[in-house]
Copies of this chain bind each other. A is one copy, B any other.
Amino acid sequence: MKKKRALGLGIDTGGTYTKIVVVSAQGRALHEAQVPTYPELGPRKFVERVSAALRSMDLSLFRSIRGIGLGLAGDVDSEHGSLRFTPNLRSFGGFAFRKAFEAALGLPVKVENDANMAVWGGYVVELKRRCGNVLGITMGTGIGGGLILEGRIYHGSTGSAGEIGHCCVEPEGELCHCGLRGCLEAYAGSYGIVRTARKLMAERRSLMARWCPDPHLLEPKIVAEAACARDWAARETWRVTGYYLGLGIANAVYLLNPEEILIVGGVSRAGRLILDPVASVLRAQRFKTPFKRARVRIARTPNLGAVGAGLLGLE
> What are the residues of chain B within 8 A of A256 when measuring CB–CB?
156, 161, 255-256
- Is A56's beta carbon under 8 Å from chain B? no
> How far, in whole Å, are A133 and B155 apart by their CA atoms in the complex?
10
Nearest to A285 among chain B residues (CB) is B180
If A157-B293, A255-B255, A293-B157 touch, whether A286 touches B167 (CB-CB below 8 Å) is no
> What are the residues of chain B within 8 A of A160 when measuring CB–CB?
254, 257, 289-290
6 residue pairs, one from A and one from B, having the closest CB atoms:
A156-B257, A160-B290, A179-B286, A161-B257, A167-B251, A163-B254
> What are the residues of chain B within 8 A of A290 when measuring CB–CB?
156, 158, 160-161, 163
> What are the residues of chain B within 8 A of A169 when measuring CB–CB?
168, 171
Name the contact of A131 in the complex, choosing from B157, B178, B247 (C-beta under 8 A).
B157
Cβ-defined contact, B289 with A75, below 8 A: yes
| Nearest-Cβ distance from residue A185 to partner chain B, whole angstroms | 10
Name the contact of A257 in the complex, choosing from B157, B293, B294 (C-beta under 8 A).
B157
Cβ-defined contact, A257 with B164, below 8 A: no
| Nearest-Cβ distance from residue A67 to partner chain B, whole angstroms | 23
If A163-B254, A255-B252 touch, whether A287 touches B158 (CB-CB below 8 Å) is no
12 residue pairs from A and B, CB less than 8 Å apart = A145-B255, A155-B257, A157-B259, A158-B257, A159-B289, A160-B289, A162-B255, A164-B255, A166-B254, A168-B169, A179-B286, A180-B286
